[in-house]
């Protein structure tokens, strides 16, 4: 009850351990699609602007049994 554990990358194994592991899942499909499009664009018209662009992808919090609700003090 005093410790919460949070994993990263949303690995499927976290669902099957005890207690099941809460995790932050990265949007792998969206990241992969972006990289594939970027590589294709770079191949046809190489530029350096895409290499310095700031890109943000929104992760998903998956709450399972390894995290407890916050206690009020």
Burial 19-44 (b: 16+ CB within 10 A, else e): eebbbebeeeeeeeeeeeeeeeeeee
**Is 50's pLDDT higher than 80?**
no
pLDDT single digits (tens) 10-39: 888 888 889 999 999 999 999 999 989 888
pLDDT band per the 50, 70, 90 thresholds, residue 62: very high
Contact 24, 59 (CB under 8 A): yes
Given this model, what pLDDT does residue 53 score?
A: 72
Tell me the average pLDDT of the chain: 84
Residue 47, token pair as written in the block: 């530029």
């Amino acid at each position: 009850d005093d410790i919460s554990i949070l994993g990263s990358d949303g690995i499927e194994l976290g669902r099957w351990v005890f207690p099941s592991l809460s995790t932050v899942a990265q949007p792998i499909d969206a990241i992969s699609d972006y990289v594939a499009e970027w590589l294709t664009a770079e191949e046809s018209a190489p530029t350096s602007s895409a290499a310095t662009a700031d890109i943000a992808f929104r992760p998903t919090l998956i709450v399972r049994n390894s995290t407890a609700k916050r206690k009020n003090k």
